[in-house]
Amino acid sequence: MPHTPILPRTSLRTALVALALSAAGSAGAEPEPMLRNGFRLEPAAVPVTAIIRGGPPRDGIPALDHPTALPAARADWRDEDRVLGTVAGGEARAYPLAILEWHELVNDTLGGEPILVSYCPLCGSGLVFGRRVAGATRSFGVSGLLYRSDLLMYDRGTESLWSQIAARAVTGPLVGERLRLLRVRVESWGAWRRHHPDSSVLSRETGHDRDYASSPYGDYATSSRTFGTPKPDPRYPPKTRTVGLRVPGQAARAYPAPELLRAGGAIAERFAGHAVRIAYDAERDSFHVEAPHEVEIVEGYWFAWASFHPDTGVFRATGEPAPRARE
């Protein structure tokens, strides 16, 4: 393993991210023991050869535990800063992506409900879960491992590994258990605050020395690069903004932003027997979905949704086959 020089914390984090990207791209050739980053990969619900090291060690990306949140009126985030917003127990809170890119997980309590806020920069996926699982309130950390390019979380009680996008444990004592998804919005802080004027928002005072004014992932979000996943589904460019709906074990359907725009920005239809409405605002780069609680909502990059749902249906504005991206 190459020697990592001692650097300032922000430089070290950037170096770890660079190592993560290169490791994810070449990890297919490494030996595959049943122990990785200190986690035992058995029993497993997925091929252990598909669980790869992302670069940083276990907790090398530090999850946040009950960080400070400020009332909207006291926050100094800019209106254009992107946030992941959620509501639980009647309380609203925003989690700036500028913080989530550096920490990926937040163990929090909102409206009296223990929640887990998660963001995977490689998949562009922001999801919020309830932390009460299998009869206990769980606390989660970042494993440093990836499955299909996506963040693998671990619960600190059993050390089971959990797939963020799949929302289930894929290894360990809790293998097969599912997490309950809460509704989220990914949009600008200004838009979230207008919808939720009484919202709180995460403070930059996290207890960690990080440069929250810069992204450790450089131009990754605007490039076509992907890491740690099979060849992306070519029907759309890999980073196409997409919202996916699913009823676990029954159906999955993708709504790529370009298709919603071709349909006028919003559509209403039936999915898995449920009435749903999906809208995309190009100016604000945000989705809005209305669906019953039986329907799970996952927002992220097209390649990530398609990797986890290879048989997904796809909404098409014209009814014609979806365009294919250039190889």
pLDDT tens digit string along 93-136?
Answer: 999 999 999 999 999 999 999 999 999 999 999 999 999 999 99
The pLDDT assigned to 323 comes to: 54
| Model pTM score | 0.89
The pLDDT assigned to 140 comes to: 98
229 — pLDDT class (breaks 50, 70, 90): confident
The pLDDT assigned to 319 comes to: 59
Average pLDDT over residues 16-32: 44
Average pLDDT over residues 291-314: 97
8 — pLDDT class (breaks 50, 70, 90): very low
pLDDT at 12 over 90: no
The pLDDT assigned to 3 comes to: 28
d(CA 172, CA 68): 32
The pLDDT assigned to 320 comes to: 56
Average pLDDT, the chain: 89
pLDDT at 61 over 90: yes
The pLDDT assigned to 60 comes to: 96
pLDDT digits (tens, 9 = 90+) for 131-140: 999 999 999 9
CA–centroid distance for 303 within its chain: 13
pLDDT at 46 over 50: yes
pLDDT at 157 over 60: yes
285 — pLDDT class (breaks 50, 70, 90): very high
Q: What SS3 string covers the chain?
A: CCCCCCCCHHHHHHHHHHHHHHHHHHHHHCCCCCEECCEECCCECCCHHHEEECCCCCCCCCCEECCCEEEHHHCCCCCCCEEEEEEECCEEEEEEHHHHHHHCEEEEEECCEEEEEEEECCCCEEEEEECEECCEECCEEEEEEEECCEEEEEECCCCCEEECCCCEEEECCCCCCECCEECEEEEEHHHHHHHCCCCEEECCCCCCCCCCCCCCCCCHHHCCCCCCCCCCCCCCCCCCEEEEEEECCCEEEEEEHHHHHHCCCEEEEEECCEEEEEEEECCCCEEEEECCCCCEEEEEEHHHHHHHCCCCEECCCCCCCCCCCCC
13 — pLDDT class (breaks 50, 70, 90): very low
